[in-house]
Structure 1
Amino acid sequence: MMNLGDVYGRTFKTLRVSLLSTCNLGCVYCTVGDATINVDKKAQTPAAHFLKSIAQLHEQLNLETVRFTGGEPLLYHDLITVVEGVREIGIPHIKITTNAYLLDRMAPLLKEAGLQSVNVSLDAVDEEAFFKMSKRRHVDRVLKGIDTALKCGLEVKLNSVVLKGLNHEQILPLLDYAFDRNIPIRFLEVMAMGHLHNQADQYLFTQEDILLTIASKYDFMRLPRKVSATANYWQTDEGKVFGIVANESEPFCHDCNRLRLDAQGNIYGCLSSNFPVSINNIETEEELEQKLKQAMKQKQKVKFTGSELSMLHIGG
């Protein structure tokens, strides 16, 4: 096991694995937001390929968490196999980020395979607002998937990207929905990724804006930030907790511990980097150590600076 760290003391302890670049939604911050299905015609990467890379990385880094992303990871055919494989590798925390469109039927299988936690991307609970953000109908499918996951004993959290002029009026309905079900919720400032790389500012609804909106209905106090956390958290007078991922307003790069692996066998130390570091055909610890050092150098000193990479390709 190597002692990988930079001058800021950052290490890699959380691995985010992008299983595929296919999604069954067309969210406007991830794609151009049209009504077509974002289908990747390439064959899906075999589970064995992912598991080999994850095992090599874990041996070097002693990973604490693996989170599966996409695209939409529930569209990956061998998802149960990779979850079971990561459990056998011995990584303690296995999580997934999903739009939950298919979660109703998948949740029991994932729980049995070893999954512990689900982050659901939900930007609206109102049907029309949901369509405006995702270009799809039937938000009820997502809500049903959340209910099923909770019944299965999976930990559920909500992630809600807030875009000024599109869904910022959904903040309180989303908050009420989460509070009613005792589900933690985090609101996300828009990230300058993909087609929004140079125009995210026009949609930015800041942490302050979000707090002012919530303050119109709830009284709350700020909680201490945990090390390497992406979100700041507050607690209402009733004991309910919500978070904000403030990429622009309050960056968290200084103690980020995340490493990303895509479906082509490339690692990235930061979403701000367009430069993949391939770990395909790595045979020695020394080779992998050099690759990891390259990825570590991609981490930003102060804040996320944006990238032309699409969220569809690398996940959030």
Structure 2
Amino acid sequence: MIKDRFGRPIKSLRISVTRRCNLNCIYCHKEGTLPTNYEMSKEEIYRICKVAKEFDINKVKITGGEPLIRKDIVEIISALNSLNFKDISMTTNGVYLKNYAYKLKKAGLDRINVSLDSLKNHIYKSITGKDFLDKVKEGISKAIEAGLHPVKINMLILKDINENEVWDLFEFCKEHGAILQIIELVKIDDNSDYFEKYYKSLDSIEEEIRKKAEKVMERKFMHGRKKYFIDGSEIEIVRPMDNSVFCANCTRLRITPDAKIKPCLLRNDNLVDLKPALKCKSNYMLKKLFIEAIHRRSPYFGKYKYVV
């Protein structure tokens, strides 16, 4: 398995297949990608993933924008499934999931993350700009029914908005057999006004969870995340902010919708453009560019910040 200069193995690929979305969330950072009119084709996504597989990258996560907006999303999953990845997953807002859950499972999707920050209609609408909460709940039920396990519910904590709904979401997940993933808001750039307005540290929330937990585990090769087990269900904590442990355990490369390798979520100054290589029939240049992107990786938080 290939490693970067800091000894971190590259195990997974996170592919943003579109910047388009059917929601307008107040905190959206679009995976840290820059505006673009270019959107990779199914064939380009397949070629990129084929090269990734040759580097022993064995997991792929499909994201957006909202990936279910793409009319060829099932075909994309089917194409990736033919490459025999160990795990193919997706992050979605769940609005269209009711119609796609069974098709995605049949195509080869293993599991799914659904963004759901509130169970209250007025709060959900204030966050997303749309009144789609019932559709999302239906989508979650269909995903569980279709066997997309585990279904994880991504709850981003927003100060003075949903911070008091953690246990409501936990009970919802427990009832449906899903896992609650609590996420700390991340600041993508210095002009992120939303961050100052909505950021809340997870310290007090995690301490409350810790006191109730019967068991705690750390996912060493998943950014050192902690999983708390309570009443037969799970809560996972995702804390990227100023977290050197998060960076030290990062094993992921990202692909932007316009076919650039993004070595770090929080940077746009070290991207590697794959488009010229995708015009060639051979994958030789794609492989060279993958190696270059891996070489450009450095921990954003910690003593090695911005080492080039």
TM-score (norm 2): 0.86
Q: What is aligned with 1:30?
A: 28
1:221-247 Cα offsets, whole Å, 9 max, x none, are 4523122214311122x2321011011
Q: Counterpart of 1:277 in structure 2: which amino acid?
A: V
Q: What is aligned with 1:219?
A: 212
1:171, 1:214 within 8 Å by CA — same for their partners in 2? Answer: no
- Residue from 139, 147, 151 that aligns with 1:145: 139
Q: What is aligned with 1:181?
A: 176
Does 2:129 align with 1:135?
yes
Aligned-pair CA distance for 1:196: 6.0
Aligned-pair CA distance for 1:128: 1.0
1:176-204 Cα offsets, whole Å, 9 max, x none, are 11112221111000010268636524422
Q: Counterpart of 1:299 in structure 2: which amino acid?
A: S
The CA RMSD over aligned residues, in Å, is 2.7
Q: Counterpart of 1:105 in structure 2: which amino acid?
A: N
SS at match of 2:219: coil
Q: What is the distance in 2 between the residues matched to 1:127 and 1:214?
A: 25
Q: What is the distance in 2 between the residues matched to 1:194 and 1:249?
A: 14
Structure-2 change in CA distance of 1:14 and 1:205 (3 Å): same
Does 2:199 align with 1:204?
yes
Q: What is aligned with 2:301?
A: 302
Aligned-pair CA distance for 1:214: 4.3
The percent identity for this pair of structures is 24
- Structure 2 unaligned segments of length 5 or more: list them: none
Does 2:244 align with 1:247?
no
Structure-2 change in CA distance of 1:199 and 1:98 (3 Å): closer
Q: Counterpart of 2:198 in structure 1: which amino acid?
A: Y
Structure-2 change in CA distance of 1:211 and 1:131 (3 Å): same
- Structure 1 unaligned segments of length 5 or more: list them: 33-39, 307-316
Pairwise mapping of residues 10-25 of structure 1 onto structure 2 (< 5 A)?
Answer: 10-25=8-23
Structure-2 change in CA distance of 1:43 and 1:254 (3 Å): closer
- Residue from 110, 113, 130 that aligns with 1:119: 113
SS at match of 1:223: strand
Aligned-pair CA distance for 1:151: 0.8
2:6, 2:298 within 8 Å by CA — same for their partners in 1? Answer: no
Q: What is aligned with 2:256?
A: 262
Larger CA deviation: 116-125 vs 170-179: 170-179
SS at match of 1:187: strand
Pairwise mapping of residues 58-73 of structure 1 onto structure 2 (< 5 A)?
Answer: 58-59=53-54, 61-73=55-67
Q: What is the distance in 1 between the residues matched to 2:180 and 2:124?
A: 17
Q: Counterpart of 1:191 in structure 2: which amino acid?
A: V
SS at match of 2:267: coil
Structure-2 change in CA distance of 1:7 and 1:154 (3 Å): same
1:29, 1:196 within 8 Å by CA — same for their partners in 2? Answer: no
SS at match of 2:161: coil
Structure-2 change in CA distance of 1:107 and 1:195 (3 Å): farther
Aligned-pair CA distance for 1:98: 0.2
Q: What is aligned with 2:73?
A: 79
Q: What is the distance in 2 between the residues matched to 1:201 and 1:221?
A: 34
Q: What is aligned with 2:167?
A: 172
Pairwise mapping of residues 144-163 of structure 1 onto structure 2 (< 5 A)?
Answer: 144-155=138-149, 156-163=151-158
Structure-2 change in CA distance of 1:197 and 1:41 (3 Å): closer
2:219, 2:227 within 8 Å by CA — same for their partners in 1? Answer: no
Q: What is aligned with 2:92?
A: 98
1:6-36 Cα offsets, whole Å, 9 max, x none, are 343212111111101100111111169xxxx
SS at match of 1:101: coil
Aligned-pair CA distance for 1:138: 2.7
